[in-house]
Amino acid sequence: MTRTLFRNARIVLPQFILDGSVLVEDGKIVDVDAGELANADETVDCQGRYLMPGVIDDQVHFREPGLTHKEDLSTASHACAAGGVTSFLEMPNTKPAAITVEGVRQKEAIAAQKSIVNYGFYIGATPSNLEELAKASDVPGIKIFIGSSTGDLLVDDQETLERIFAETTLPICAHCEDEATVRANMDRLVGTSDIADHSRIRDERAAMIATARATDLARRHKHRFHVLHVSTAAELTLLQNADPYITAEICLHHLFFNVDDYARLGSRIQMNPSIKTKADNEGLWQGLLDGTIQVLATDHAPHTLQEKRQPYPASPSGLPAVENSLALMLDQVNQGKCSLLQVASWMSDAPARVWGMVGKGRIDVGYDADLVLVDMDEARTIRDAEQHTKTCWSPWDGETLRGWPTATYIGGRRVWSQADGFDEQHRGSKLKFDHARGGFWKTMDGIGV
C-alpha cells in the first residue's frame, strides 16, 4: 500500500477550514486530521496553502471524435489538470454524436487512452433513440438539446419530450432555448452582421420559454432534471423554491461577461445561450449565493481563432474555460464576493451529488484523493499563448487574477504542478455513477463511497 501525507495544509472541508494534514492510502483519503508525523511513504509539505477537493466540471465539449482540430481528450484533459479540474462530464454533440450506448463506450475507450483526468460521457437524446436512452446505464445522464443544435440532436417536439421524461430513468439535463423563438428572432434580424444581435436573437424570452417547459416536464413526470447554463435572472423565478427533482447551474461567462463586452471582445464571448445584461450578471451571482443555483460549470467549447474571427453570424458559438475556471473564482474569493467553502460546494461537491459520482466531490474519509493545492496569494496573468487548450486562446486574455492552483492530484498522485508540469504517464479513470442515491437533494452529507 502507498501512503501519502499532505501536511501543513489549510484543508477545505464541506463546513469549515481545518489547519492540519490529510493522509491518503492507495488513492483514498483515510484521515482528514492526521498527525504531522503520521507514517507515510511520501510527504507533501503544503506550506500553509489551501487543499481543496478537485474541481468537477459537469459540462464540457472536448470535440473528440470528429472535431479534433479544435480540441481532443489529451489537450483538454491537460488543460483540466492545469486548472485544478480532476473530473469532467462531456456532452454528446461530437461527430458522430454519442446517441447510443455503444457510442458512449467508444468515447470512454478513447478517454482511457488519452485523458490524464477522470471522465464521464452523457448520452444524447434524439427524436428516435428512446430505446437507447432507456437501456443506458453507467453514464451520468441524458442530454437534450431543446433548441440550439444541429442534426438529430435537436428535440423540441412535445410528444417526444414527454416520452423521454416518462419512459427513462437516468437524470436528464438540457440546453434550454426555445427554437421557435430563436428562429423568429433570426427572421426579424436577417442579414445582420452585428455580433451584439446574437443576444437579441437568443434572448431572455427564448431562455424563459424553454426552461419553463423543461421544468414543467420534470415536475409532472417526477424526473430528476438539471438546467444547464442558466443565462438570465428571470429564469431564477422558475427555480427559487427547492424542488426534489430540479437542480441548475451557471457558467462562468454568464457571470463575468455581458452585452457591453461585445465591443471589446466580439465573437470571443459569442455563446449559446447568449451573454445577457449586467443586471443578469448581478441576478445570477445572487442566485449562486442564495442557493437557487447549485452548480458552477464552464461549458468549455473551443473553436479556433480563425473560425471565431469569421464575420457574424458565420462565427461559431463557444469558448474555452477549463484551465482558468478555478482561478477566476479564487480571485472572486480574494475580492470578498464569495468564500472558499462556497467555491468548493459549487464546483466540486454539488456536481458530484447531482450526478451521483461515487467517492467524489469533497475531502472526507473514504473519498477518492482528488485534490488541488491552491495558493491564494499568487497573482498570474492569463495569456493566450500559455493556454494548454489546443486552440490557445482565452476570453480572459490579459486579465490578472490572484489565487491559483499550484498542483493537482488524482487518487493521491500528482498529475500536474506549476513547478514540474504534467505526469504524462498518468491516465484518469471512468467515473462511477450511482443514481439510486437520489441526486443532489437526497445526499446532503455527500454522495458517499
pLDDT at residue 182 in the model: 96
What is the number of other CB atoms lying within 10 angstroms of the CB of residue 306?
8
* 134 found inside a domain: yes
Over residues 257-269, the mean pLDDT reads 98
Total residues belonging to the chain: 449
The residues pairing with 146 across neighbouring beta strands, listed in sequence order, are 176
| Residue 288, pLDDT score | 98
pLDDT for residue 147 is more than 80: no
Mean pLDDT for the stretch of residues 391-418? 98
Which pLDDT score, from 0 to 100, does residue 149 have?
62
In a domain, 3, yes or no: no
Does residue 332 lie in a domain region? yes
State the first-to-last Cα distance of the chain, in angstroms, to the nearest integer: 19
Q: Which residue is associated with the grid cell 495544509?
A: 9
The pLDDT of 364-369, averaged and rounded, is 98
Q: Is residue 139 part of a domain?
A: yes
Residue 277 resides in a domain: yes
Q: What is residue 153's predicted lDDT score, i.e. its pLDDT? A: 87
Q: Which domain holds residue 169?
A: 52-364+430-442
DSSP 338-376: S-HHHHHIIIIIHHHHHTTBTT-SS--TTSB--EEEEEE
350 belongs to a structural domain: yes
Assess whether the previous peptide bond of 311 is cis (omega < 30° from 0).
no
Q: Is the pLDDT assigned to residue 148 strictly greater than 70? A: no
3-state secondary structure of 261: helix
Task: Say which amino acid occupies 203.
Answer: D
- Overall domain count for the chain: 1
What percentage of residues in the chain have a pLDDT greater than 90?
A: 95
Residue 26 maps to a domain? no
What pTM did the predictor assign?
A: 0.98
Q: DSSP character for 300?
A: B
Buried/exposed code over 138-163 (b: 16+ C-beta within 10 A; e: otherwise): bbbbbbbbbbbbeebbbbbeeebbeb
Give the model's pLDDT for residue 19. Answer: 96
Asked if the structure places residue 58 within a domain, the reply is yes
> What CATH number is attached to the domain comprising 332?
3.20.20.140
Position 150 scores a pLDDT of 60
Identify the residue whose cell numbers are 438539446: 145
Q: How does the average pLDDT of the chain come out, rounded?
A: 96
Position with higher pLDDT, 122 vs 1: 122
Q: Is the pLDDT of residue 203 over 80?
A: yes
CA distances from 150 to 153, 179, 199, 204, 214 (A): 6, 11, 19, 21, 19
